[in-house]
A and B are shown apart, each in its own frame.
Chain A
Amino acid sequence: MRFTKKMAAALVIAAAMSTAFAQKIEVIGAGASFPAPLVTAMADQYRTLTDGRVTVNYQSIGSGGGIRQFGEQTIMFGMTEAFLNDEIVEEVEKKTGGRAFNMPITLADVVVTYNVPGVKEGVVFNGEVLADIFLGKIKKWNDKNIQALNKSIKLPNLNITVVHRSDGSGTTNIWTSYLTKVSKEWADKIGYATSVNWPVGVGAKGNEGVAGVVMNTPGALGYNSYAYALLNKISYGYLINKSGNTIKPNFEATSEAANIDLPEDTRIIFTDTPAAQGYPVAGFTWMLVYENLEKNKAIKSKNEAEELIKFLIWAITDGQGLSERLGYAKLPKAAVDKNKAMIRELKWNGEEIGKKILG
C-alpha cells in the first residue's frame, strides 16, 4: 500500500516535469552574420529572464541564407541586411495570403578607415570625394579635393590603396548604397549590392580582413563597421552629411540617421540621410516574420507564435539596452513605432495575437 502511494507521487512528479518540459520553447531564427553577436546576447539574457523557458536559437548563415530559409519556412524568423525585394514579398503574399514583414532590429554603421603615417583620426571626407576615390579617379592622399576639406592637416604625397570587402556583406551593401546616392557615375557603373564589381582596390575577407590590410598598408583606405574600427583603434574619418554638417561617427548619430519619416513597411535605405545630425552611412538590419504566423511551417502551435512575438517585442524595447556595449546603435523611436504597428498585425488563424500581447 505504501509502495503504491510512493509510486503515485513519483508519477505525479514525472507528469509535472514532463508538462514543464513541454512548455519549454525554442524560437529558431537564422540569417545575417552582422547582428549575430547582438542576437546571441539577447538570446542569453532572454533565456535568463524567462527562467530558461524560452531559448532563442540563432544561426548566422548570411543574409542570403536567411531569406531563403525564411522562404522555405524552416525558421520562425529570418534576419537580413538587405530588405526583401518586391518579387519575394509578392510571392509570400500569394503563398500565405499575408505579408512578409521586415522589422528593423538593429542598425549597422560603416566608417571610413585609413592608414596614413603621421595623420590621426578625423580626416574629413564628403560623398563626392569618397566616390571618386573608390572609382579610382582620386589616386593620391594630397589630392586637392581631399586637402580642401582638411585645411589644418598636411596630407602626404602617398598613393591611396583602396581596400574593400571581398566577401558579400551587408556592410558592403550599405557602403555601396551610400556611394550610389552621392555619385551618379557610381550609380550608373557600379550600383549597390552585397558584393559589387569593384573598379579598383584590394579585396579582403570580413571586417577583420579589411582592418588587417588597412593596418599594415601605408596609404590604405577602407570601410569597416564602426564598432570594429573602435575596438581595433583604427583611424577613421568624419563625414560631411547631406545637410552639410561634419559628423564624427557615434552611436547617437547613427540612431539619429534612421529617425526620419519611415515608410510603413520600413523597407528603406537611408544612407545619405536627410536627418541634420544623422551619420550618412548607416542602415537597418531586419527581422523577417510572416503576417499569418500559422502559415509558417516552422511554427507549430499558437503558443510558439506567441512566444516569438513576446521575444520580438522585448528585442526592440528592453533588448536594445544591450546594443551599445556590443557595438550596435539603438533603434530610434521612429523605427520602434513602425515595428509596433507591424507587430499589432501579426495573426494566428485570423486571431490578432500581436495586438492582444502588445495591447
Chain B
Amino acid sequence: MSDNNTKKINVSPSALYGWLGDRIFAVSVFVLGFIVIFTTLAMAISLYYEGSEAITRFGFWGFLTGEKWDPAITMEFGAWPFIVGTVSTSLGALALSFIPAIAIAVFTAEYAPHWLSHIIENLVNLIAAVPSVVIGIWGVFVFTPWIRDTVEIPVYIWSLENAPGLTPILGNPIGYGMMTATIILTIMIIPFTTALTVDAFRMVPKEQREAASALGATKWEVIRMAVIPYSRGGILAGTMLSLGRAIGETMAVAMLIGNKNTLPFTLFGPGSTMASVIVNEFREAVENIHLTSLMAVGFYLFLISLIVNLAAAYIQRKYAVTGGRAV
C-alpha cells in the first residue's frame, strides 16, 4: 500500500505540466503580443505604400496642407480641409462632452443610490453599444430637422437682425453640418469618458475620503479635493479614449456633416472629416490618383491617431497617482 504511494510520487509529472508547458505558454503569449505590433506596423506601412503615389506627387507637406480636392478637372488633392474637419469636430465634441460626462460620473459614483447608479451605468453603456449607423439614421430623421428648426434658423435670423458680422461664421442653417456632427459625436463619446471616470472614482481608497471628511470637508469638497485629484489618471484616460473614438468615427459623421470638401467650413454649414471622405469616395474612385489620395488621407489619419494615443499615454503617466499619493 505505502509502497504503491511512493511509486506514484516518484513518477515525475508529464512534461506538459513542467517546463514545457511554461515554455509553450510564454511563446504563445509572446507571439500574440508581437502580432499586435506587427499588424500595426504593417498597416502603417501598407497605407503609406498605397498612398505613396499621392504623397510623392504632392509632397508630404504639400498633401498635408493642400486645400484643393478636385477629382474631376485638375486632379489635385490635399488633405487640409479634412484635417481641419476632423480636428475641429473631435475637439469640439471632447470639449462639449467633458463636463457632462464627469458630472454623470460624479452622480453615479457618489450621489445616486445603488439601484439608480446601476440603471444609469447600464444605460450609458447601452449608448456606447448602439451602432453608429443607427445613431446616424436617428440624426437624419429626428435630430437634424429638430436642431435646424429650433436652434439654427432662429439663431441665424437673430444674427441677421442684430449681429450681421456673425452670419458668415454661422453659415447656412440647413441642419446638416459641423455643429450637428459635433453634437452627435458628443453624445457618442460621453459613455467612454463616463465609464472610465466612474471606475476611477470607485478605486479611490476609503482612507482618502475619510481623511478629507475628518478635516471637515463637505461632500462636494471631498469629491473636489480627494476624489477627483486622485482619479485624474482615469479621467484623462477616458477622455483620450473618447477623443480617439471621435477622430475615427465615420458613419454617423458622414451621414450628418453635409460633406463639403472645400474650406472654409462654417458652424451650421457643411464640412467633412478624414474618415468621412474616405468612406464616401472610396468605392467609386476610378482614377488612380484619386484612390491613392484617399489612401494617403488614411495614412495621415493613422498618424494623427498615433499622436493622440502617444500623447494620452504620456499624460496618463505624468498625472497618474501612484502608491496612494495624490500629486
Chain A: residues with CB nearer than 8 A to chain B?
Answer: 33, 61-65, 67, 80-82, 159, 161, 166-170, 176, 189-198, 201-205, 209, 212-213, 216-217
Contacts and interface: CB of A to CB of B under 8 A. Distances in A.
Contacts of A63: 284, 286
A170 B259 contact: no
A81 B258 CA distance: 25
Contact of A203 (B68, B71, B148, B259): B259
Nearest to A171: B284
A212 B140 contact: yes
Given A197-B72, A209-B255, A217 B175 contact: yes
A335 B256 CA distance: 40
Given A203-B260, A213-B176, A216-B141, A169 B284 contact: yes
B235 interface: no
B210 interface: no
Interface size class of B (residues with CB under 8 A): 35 or more
A167 B72 contact: no
Given A198-B261, A205-B280, A191 B285 contact: no
Nearest to B136: A205
A162 to B, nearest CB: 10
A81 B71 CA distance: 16
B70 interface: yes
A195 B260 contact: no
A192 B276 CA distance: 21
A194 to B, nearest CB: 4
A196 B70 contact: yes
Contacts of A189: 73
Interface in B235-286: 254-255, 258-262, 270, 272, 276, 279-286
Contacts of B254: 166, 205
Contact of B283 (A80, A167, A202): A167
A168 B285 contact: yes
Provide the main secondary structure of the chain B interface.
loop
Contact of B270 (A64, A80, A195, A203): A203
Contacts, number: 112
A167 to B, nearest CB: 4
A192 B284 contact: no
B43 to A, nearest CB: 20
23 contacts: A64-B284, A65-B283, A67-B286, A82-B286, A161-B174, A166-B259, A167-B279, A167-B284, A168-B286, A176-B72, A191-B73, A195-B72, A197-B68, A197-B70, A197-B71, A197-B72, A198-B260, A203-B272, A205-B255, A205-B259, A213-B140, A216-B145, A217-B148
Contacts of A192: 72
A252 to B, nearest CB: 28
Given A202-B174, A213-B176, A217-B175, A62 B283 contact: yes
Interface in B176-207: 176-177
A344 to B, nearest CB: 29
A196 B285 contact: no
Interface string B38-68: 0000000000000000000000000000001
B280 A202 contact: no
Given A64-B286, A168-B281, 9 more contacts: A33-B283, A67-B286, A194-B286, A195-B71, A197-B71, A202-B176, A205-B279, A212-B141, A216-B145
Contacts of B72: 176, 190-193, 195-197
B80 to A, nearest CB: 14
B302 interface: no
B260 A202 contact: yes
B146 to A, nearest CB: 10
Contacts of B255: 204-205, 209
B172 interface: yes
B262 A197 contact: yes
A190 B172 CA distance: 22
A259 B262 CA distance: 39
Nearest to B175: A217
Contacts of B69: 197
Contacts of B175: 216-217
Contacts of A167: 279-281, 283-284
Interface in B53-102: 68-73
B231 interface: no
Contacts of A193: 71-72, 286-287
A232 B130 CA distance: 27
